[in-house]
A and B are shown apart, each in its own frame.
Chain A
């Protein structure tokens, strides 16, 4: 990997006795789309805020765009927080230009760029409308455009899909892909696994402030128990006897045949299972290898933490968010 755009080493964030982020380490390569997944209260937003130096870590090291602090390189970063707003009385074009100016653009360049983006995203006629007059979807677009207007090298998007309708979700997906095509690095957190599955080169799953997984989708699948769907007249015991089976259940039974879902043991090869079935004379009318979805992986790795999070004291949850 070339020099990472973001590097976190053993980062810890504590609020009193509550640990919001616990010994987190990961790196994001240039040009990557990196997913940041985790249930509520997992510590995603806290991590993103620490990356941006909005809050300080209790311990550990963060390097962003080659700098030990985000402050000197803030102009090269675009950040869309999870909870976002606009100045109600400000016009759409002024909002985009203002935030771009805050991130280092000149006044006239910022206004030109703001107008161009509004035109590109079909909002030209609302450029001079006050933000309070925009629909929720339009306001979200304006917020997103404010994030990218200064053409940052690194985009950090906290739950960017939340609250968007399906059409705007598609638009955002396209925008993220375009940004990557333009050579930018994108980190985004999300609850919606389909987006992450479609977009991310790599992702990280967090729960309880700790890293549960980091890698590509195929790496995740490889490390996740394999599942098979088979249809046969053979009884369940015959299939279990083939070996490498961690679990089995009946999915469907019609006529003489039954469909089973089989969970293989860790590291078990589905092809070897098939070979053993043929060798044992178990006749299969269906053999389907079902790869684990990101949703399965997420629920498996982080699902147990939902309850734990709900039990956490509200103040702690808030601090972590």
Chain B
């Protein structure tokens, strides 16, 4: 046992204390922070996009502007809520209702606007802010209306105006704005016969930025609402009544039938609990792929460097195999453990104003159920199954090039369940989930994905028993290949591998 641990420790040290691993460990969260910061910077520095509206009806420009401003107000309130949660000592309890962080719906939006908007909210919050709280950076309005250029104003038809706007849309010319000349992001052309009737003319959205569809969606929504309002008016419903109808948000709460009535309402923790198995399954896939490669390269190194014979004069092939499995398996668990622990540590230092942070919710979801135990058990099973295959490939290869011919099919096996994972996630007790559960190499993935959905116990026990029997069979077969091939000077041919797998030479 001591020798197995010694081998495991050497394998573990070789990777975990290597410069590359430490750099990766440092760089990964740094990269995460950098990406988040870059997204923030990109958001802040994103240029204001200017658009023009040519409306022959003269009816819809205000609707478009109102929709864009309302969506922006949503963003502002969301940002303020996040800011107040961190910068106010008691979750903004003393702030007036529309400013205090709460669920955001049309009612609150209207109240917030009526109470004076973000400047009033900041004025109310200022005396309550924690000392040293940073300033609030209000998100900028992303889209602004620009006036039509002179050449377009004099156009007599939509085709003429389109022709006049084309150099601006192609950014050959710049549109005049209060900030100076700016590129024109989009043009909205609304014909005089625009409407909801079947033979009505259609609004045109012109832009060379065809992948950025945000503005187009907002305009489309604004025009749809305007046409609906017109229809309501035609039916005799007054404008105020229409607005009142539009501001209605249906209050829908989700509940879990497996919990007591007072705890049944679905919260963040429930959503995390149901998503965690999927996240952990993907993590398992990534780890298996990562450590599988480590095992492979490491075994090839020992084989090609001729270290293996010295090792085998000191330990048995089984001890060597077990030591490697243990050491590299621990490497696989180190990374998620460090990231989870780091996340919890960072999360614990962030004052969330009395609210449970997402990281703490994840920890609580993990520890309050047997999810962690289930994960660890199936991690080891999946690891064992694939690690044995990687070890055997390492033992029959003198170089990575030799290993490539075997790796293709193995990689296909490792990642084959990936396309089905979404289906299992959406229907954890469906046919696909059941089929995957009964295929031993995919049992760990399928059971983990289904862990939170209470699959039938007999199915899990049966499939797990089958998987364990398969794992033992694989350990014996691959172990035989490892023990016999590891000392051969040149890699055995496929037919010989088959012979090695079948029988141990005497």
Contacts and interface: CB of A to CB of B under 8 A. Distances in A.
A85 B383 CA distance: 29
A81 B305 contact: no
Interface stretch (B186-194, B276-284, B312-320, B447-455): B312-320
Interface in B83-100: none
A86 B307 contact: yes
B306 A81 contact: yes
A231 interface: no
A146 B305 contact: no
Contact of B316 (A58, A71, A84, A103): A71
B67 interface: no
B307 A87 contact: yes
A272 interface: no
B306 A318 contact: no
Contacts of B154: none
Interface string A96-111: 0011011100000000
Interface stretch (A48-56, A222-230, A262-270): A48-56
B10 interface: yes
A76 B456 CA distance: 55
Contact of A55 (B305, B310, B315, B487): B487
Contact of A321 (B18, B306, B313, B489): B489
A34 interface: no
A85 B306 contact: yes
A15 B309 contact: no
B2 to A, nearest CB: 9
Contacts, number: 67
A79 interface: yes
Contact of B305 (A77, A85, A102, A103): A85
Interface residues of A, number: 30
Contacts of B311: 102
A237 interface: no
A230 B3 CA distance: 64
B13 to A, nearest CB: 10
Contacts of A319: 488
Contact of A83 (B7, B309, B313, B316): B309
A36 to B, nearest CB: 16
A52 to B, nearest CB: 5
A85 B489 CA distance: 14
Contacts of B487: 49, 54-55
B346 interface: no
Nearest to B314: A102
B505 interface: yes
A89 B305 CA distance: 12
B313 A79 contact: yes
Interface in A27-84: 49, 52, 54-56, 58, 71, 74, 77, 79-81, 83-84
B334 interface: no
B84 to A, nearest CB: 52
A86 B310 CA distance: 9
A98 B10 contact: yes
A102 B316 contact: no
Interface in A85-136: 85-89, 98-99, 101-103
Interface string B414-434: 000000000000000000000
Interface in B264-316: 301, 305-307, 309-316
A87 B305 contact: yes
A106 B490 CA distance: 36
Interface of B: 3, 6-7, 10, 14, 18, 301, 305-307, 309-316, 487-490, 505-506
Interface of A: 15, 49, 52, 54-56, 58, 71, 74, 77, 79-81, 83-89, 98-99, 101-103, 143, 146, 318-319, 321
Given A52-B313, A83-B306, A85-B310, 12 more contacts: A71-B316, A74-B314, A81-B313, A83-B309, A83-B489, A85-B305, A98-B6, A102-B6, A102-B7, A102-B315, A146-B310, A319-B488
Per CB-CB distance, the 10 closest pairs between chain A and chain B, nearest first, are: A85-B305, A79-B313, A85-B306, A81-B309, A102-B314, A83-B306, A85-B307, A54-B312, A318-B489, A52-B313
20 contacts: A52-B313, A54-B487, A55-B505, A71-B316, A74-B314, A79-B314, A83-B306, A83-B489, A84-B306, A85-B306, A87-B14, A87-B305, A98-B6, A99-B310, A102-B7, A102-B311, A102-B314, A146-B310, A318-B488, A318-B489
